[in-house]
Amino acid sequence: MSLLSRSVLKEVLRWYAGGIALFMILQMTDALSSTVSQLITYHPPFSKAAFAFLSILPSFLNKTLVMAVAFAILLTFSRMQQDSELKAVSAGGIQPLKLVWPLTLPFVVVAAIAFFNADRLVPAGLDIWQNKAWYDIYNTPPPAPDQDKYTYAPPGALYYAGRVTPDGTTPVAQLQGVMVQRGDETITASSGIWDTATHTWTLQGAWIVRPGQNPVQQTAPLVLPQGDTLDPPIRDSKQLVTSELRRALATQRLDATQRREYTFQLATRYADPLTAIVFALAAGVLGLLLRNRAAAFASVVVFIALFYVLWSTVPGLARAGAMNPTLAAWLPNLVFLLIGGALAWRLR
């Protein structure tokens, strides 16, 4: 690496540190502004509030590691353009594009940090933020995890419950919206109890329908054998580490929508960290075309706005099935690679 490249890299890293601080402050301010009313209402001690916000920091960090890349590189190159350093580089026979490739080296390390953060710290932090920290502030226990649209189909029968709510401390779960079909017999009930220890469903006020007969309501609780096991409910894909996402996708428990969501989340674990490298290339090429600092700030805004639009749109497209989940996860990187390639071609 030449002395010039080292000098450029040092300046980029100084701006990068400032960009990380700036974007972390902006995101924390946004989170605080959206939750300040709850903090005022419940008056939590400082330790509880701090614990809640510390849990969300890893999620903010990954976005910051990417956004600060464009901020640092564009401002560095705008300063060099303004001071005519890039003109001197070109006059000395050095191709400006040779200044871009060394910039990717530190962001390979950033990508590795972002991958570890996304794989380990972000899922744990989101789990605390969504399921523990705020219920601690509210002084209420978190709600029992529900499982919707439960279906079990042993030979010759069908067991269905609109919602299964485990007790959490006992082998008993509450059932809502129950239907059981056994041969020609159909049993429905608005509620019931699933005892996984005795392998039974106990239905309250059940109705029994048989062919050619009027529906009959049972006044006593109706006990039915049920040999299935109570699996833990499907968790939010963002709260799972990468290995857990893979195991979940290897099972048959996910419906089509959940499978698309899990596939998208798994792909983002690899695509999002690499965005830092892609940003370094695209921003570096764009920075060589800038002529002043105002243009650099405008480019930073455009870069981040385009990234945010893509980043916030593709999850919905993937979940709805409008786009392949893996392609949706990699789309922001592909777009910025195309932008960087087109700008590099223009520089040639």
In the chain, beta strands by DSSP E: 147-152, 157-166, 172-182, 185-195, 200-204, 207-209, 216-217, 222-225
What does the pLDDT read at residue 57? 95
Q: Is the dihedral of CA 82, 88, 89, 91 positive or negative?
A: positive
pLDDT tens figures, 155-209: 999 999 999 998 766 788 999 999 999 989 999 999 999 998 899 999 999 999 9
Question: Which residues are bridge partners to 222 per DSSP?
Answer: 203
CA 151 to chain centre: 28
Read off φ and ψ for residue 183, nearest 5 degrees: 65, -125
Q: Whole-prediction pTM value?
A: 0.82
Q: How many whole angstroms separate alpha carbon 332 and alpha carbon 327?
A: 9
End-to-end CA, the chain: 22
State which amino acid sits at residue 297: F
Beta-carbon count within 10 A of 77 CB: 29
> In the structure, what pLDDT confidence band is assigned to residue 245 with cuts at 50, 70 and 90?
very high
> In the structure, what pLDDT confidence band is assigned to residue 289 with cuts at 50, 70 and 90?
confident
**Helix-strand-coil split of the chain, %, nearest 5:** 65, 15, 20
pLDDT tens figures, 15-39: 999 999 999 999 999 999 999 999 9
- CA dihedral (85, 91, 93, 99) in degrees, to 10, reads 20
Q: What is the mean pLDDT of the chain?
A: 89
pLDDT of 134 over the 70 cut: yes
Pick the more confident residue, 9 or 118.
118
Contact, 161 vs 175, CB < 8 A? yes
